[in-house]
């Protein structure tokens, strides 16, 4: 599939017709946008905006979403902007409304059938799937050491998904003995051909040894077994070069614009 057609498919299946990304959340069409709404511990925000959005409608949509999400009382919500979204100055309009951009990520997609599925691990490392709260805690330890960010909100989401909808999620740990050195997730989107790869952070002493590639291969094999056609990643600058070498192609860039109501 050509990149333009694949991006159109991604926009349609994963954004305009987005599925809730966990138990207890809902996806709504609200005029010119599609948004996900949940509790304060869930991801809340705008995932899609109309491709013909003009400046006047954009400002109206931004104001409406600020009013709506602020009324919920959450600490923050996000507007997920892609480089091909319209109007072209949507980022500037969001900043003018009080949104703050976070670091951009590269949207990478690969056909599952083209990806390596043989797991090759460095000596002393084994993979474990996450099946319980203890495994989620180990994921959090690896995540916080690898990324330097707090795991608590994400850990709540992962644990809820594991308990209430385990078939929609795969968590995997790379262990050096009893020490977690890397963790990763894969989230399935039933009714689409896409599964998403998330996480994949490795602690500094174990980087450059092939663990990240092994985690991709492990998840690609599961995706193939379940009949998914494409894997999607919002990649950081660290992971994007590895993914490109594995066969992923860049479709767009995505930037989270975060709104935090004044207290």
Residues 180-191, mean pLDDT to the nearest whole number: 96
CA nearest to 48, candidates 26, 67, 30? 30
Q: Which residues of 51-84 are buried (b: 16+ CB within 10 A; e: fewer)?
A: eebeeebbeebbeebbebbeeeebeebbbbbbee
Burial degree of 108 (CB within 10 A; 0-12, 13-18, 19+) = buried
Helix (H) or strand (E) holding 234: strand 230-235
CATH of 111-251, one of 3.40.47.10, 1.20.272.10, 3.40.630.30, 3.20.20.210: 3.40.630.30
239 has a pLDDT exceeding 70: yes
| Domain chopping of the chain, boundaries | 3-106+254-259, 111-251
Distance between CA 173 and CA 220 in Å, rounded? Answer: 15
263 has a pLDDT exceeding 80: no
Kindly report, residue by residue over 104-116, the tens digit of the pLDDT. 999 999 999 999 9
Give 213's contacts (C-beta < 8 A, 6+ positions apart): 116, 120, 242, 246
What architecture (CATH level 2) is domain 3-106+254-259?
Answer: 3-Layer(aba) Sandwich (3.40)
Residues 109-126, mean pLDDT to the nearest whole number: 97
3-class DSSP state of 99: coil
How much is the pLDDT for 256?
A: 98
- Largest Cα–Cα distance of the chain, in whole Å? 58
184 has a pLDDT exceeding 80: yes
Tell me the average pLDDT of the chain. 96
Position 262 confidence tier, pLDDT thresholds 50, 70, 90: confident
55 has a pLDDT exceeding 90: yes
Residues 116-136, mean pLDDT to the nearest whole number: 97
Count of CB atoms situated within 10 Å of the CB of 158:
26
Distance between CA 197 and CA 187 in Å, rounded? Answer: 7
Give 29's contacts (C-beta < 8 A, 6+ positions apart): none
Residues 76-88, mean pLDDT to the nearest whole number: 98
User: 257: which DSSP letter?
Assistant: E
- Taking the model in full, what pTM does it have? 0.94
Position 195 confidence tier, pLDDT thresholds 50, 70, 90: very high
């Amino acid at each position: 599939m050509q990149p333009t057609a694949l991006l159109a498919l991604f926009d349609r299946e994963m954004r305009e017709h987005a599925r809730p990304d966990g138990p207890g959340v809902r996806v709504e069409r609200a005029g010119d946008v599609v948004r996900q709404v949940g509790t304060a511990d869930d991801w809340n925000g705008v995932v899609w905006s109309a491709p013909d959005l003009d400046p006047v409608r954009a400002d109206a949509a931004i104001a409406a979403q600020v009013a709506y999400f602020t009324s919920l009382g959450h600490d923050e919500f996000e507007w997920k902007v892609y480089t091909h979204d319209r109007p072209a100055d949507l980022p500037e309009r969001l900043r003018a409304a009080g949104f703050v951009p976070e670091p951009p990520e590269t949207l990478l997609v690969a056909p599952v059938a083209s990806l390596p599925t043989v797991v090759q691990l460095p000596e002393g490392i084994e993979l474990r799937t996450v099946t319980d709260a203890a495994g989620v805690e180990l994921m959090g330890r690896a995540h916080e050491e690898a990324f330097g960010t707090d795991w608590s909100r994400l850990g709540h989401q992962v644990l809820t998904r594991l308990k209430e909808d385990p078939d929609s999620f795969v968590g995997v740990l790379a262990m050096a003995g009893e020490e977690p050195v890397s963790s990763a997730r894969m989230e399935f989107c039933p009714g689409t051909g896409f599964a998403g790869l998330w996480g994949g952070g490795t602690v500094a002493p174990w980087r450059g040894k092939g663990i990240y590639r092994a985690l991709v291969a492990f998840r690609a094999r599961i995706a193939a077994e379940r009949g998914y056609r494409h894997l999607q990643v919002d990649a950081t600058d660290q992971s994007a070069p590895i993914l490109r070498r594995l066969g992923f192609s860049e479709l767009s860039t995505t930037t989270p614009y975060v709104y935090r109501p004044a207290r």
